[in-house]
A = this chain, B = another copy of it.
Amino acid sequence: MSKNVIIIGGGFAGISTAQKLASTDVDITIIDKTNHHLFQPLLYQVAAAALSPGDIAMPIRAIFSKQKNVEVVLGKVTGIDNEKSTVHLENGTTHSFDYLVLAPGAQYNYFGNEDWKKHAPGLKSISDALDIRERILFSLEKAEQIDDPEKRKPYLTYVIIGGGPTGVEMAGSIAEIAKRSMMQDFRNIKPDETKIYLIEAMDGILNAFEDPLSKKGQKTLEDMGVEVLLETPVKDIKKNGVEVEGRFIETPNIVWGAGVIASPLIKELEVETDRIGRAIVKPDLSIKGHSNIFVAGDAAHVKDESGDPLPGLAPVALQQGKFLGNLIKDDLKNKVRKEFEYVDKGTMATIGRAKAVADIRGFKFSGFFAWLLWGLIHIFFLIGFRNRFRVFAEWVWHYLTFKRGVRLIAKKDEDS
């Protein structure tokens, strides 16, 4: 009888595990609390009204429509029993497994200040992206109707917290929307009224990149009109603004990209975790004491050669997923398990319409060529030919015209 493989999480790690097992005699169940796989690296473009949700998300069951050994369950996991090898869902059902791959991802960390969350949403789901998009669009509409430039200043002020790739990409996008793409559509507000802040607690942005890319990224942002505040931890966030040392920035437009913690689902496993809740796993990604339970992706603490944990990036999750698919195949043939080794193919972040920074195998690029490369790589990894074509077409349009694609305010609670 075929072994049961349960995969919790339809992100990069979960999807690539299942895809690797396409021709293997196993019964795979993918459980996710949404019905879709989200291409998170492009989520900020939904928030910046450049792409539609449908461009970067694909229903999980559509991805596996032809892979008959995969069943997809829309549901929320409430418990995992290591001993009994079962998973419990919110709807009351229980699923048994021979192998469990737990890849639930990460979420934003507000350092204990949960009340900041409602004023400063993070960017982890389509919901989040649409929420941020609406706030940005509404802020422009609101400012347009206020005659006094002093009174409308807060609406044209934007604060992004966190100098990692997400924060940098959001800041660059908003600088474009506010300063270039959209201003011709408004009659009263002017691009130079916009004020964008990127706030970072450390002494540099894009810390995963080496100098000089980190400095180049900062300069590019500054040239686009973003004010980068380094060594500036956030002290408080209220509905009407952000407090840092020495000043209060008045704005309703606050985006949080400052730090992640692992999904709380990890607590359901009895496993040692690190400071941000990631499960400490062995070199084969299994947890101590249970060689049939694995954690992969952003929720796993996996050491690299220098003993540091691998970062929560898409290529890491993808490689781990493939590794686990192969490991399960080896297990079924009673082969010796390998150890996971991450192959760093490079890191990239885009900073705007045609600028990016990239570090590929030691070659450092920036500017237009990096942006092209970034674009092509992202399109390549997007799942689904249709999505690739649409995103490519959207970007070509955007590049040629500066026009932002999807500037739609369509709040669910609007009545007709």
Contacts and interface: CB of A to CB of B under 8 A. Distances in A.
Number of copies: 2
Contacts of A412: 127, 130-131, 411-412
Which one of A35, A64, A124 has the highest number of Cβ atoms from chain B below 10 Å of its Cβ? A35
A230 to B, nearest CB: 28
Interface stretch (A69-77, A197-205, A219-227): A69-77
A62 B185 contact: yes
A414 B125 contact: yes
Nearest to A68: B187
Contacts of A416: 107-108, 122, 124-125, 127-128
A124 B414 CA distance: 11
Given A130-B410, A410-B130, A145 B54 contact: no
Contacts of A405: 54, 386
A372 interface: no
A189 to B, nearest CB: 11
Interface string A165-192: 0000000000000000000111100000
A149 to B, nearest CB: 17
22 contacts: A34-B410, A36-B408, A52-B53, A54-B406, A62-B403, A65-B184, A65-B185, A71-B187, A73-B145, A74-B141, A74-B145, A108-B416, A125-B410, A126-B410, A127-B411, A127-B412, A127-B414, A127-B416, A128-B416, A130-B410, A131-B412, A386-B397
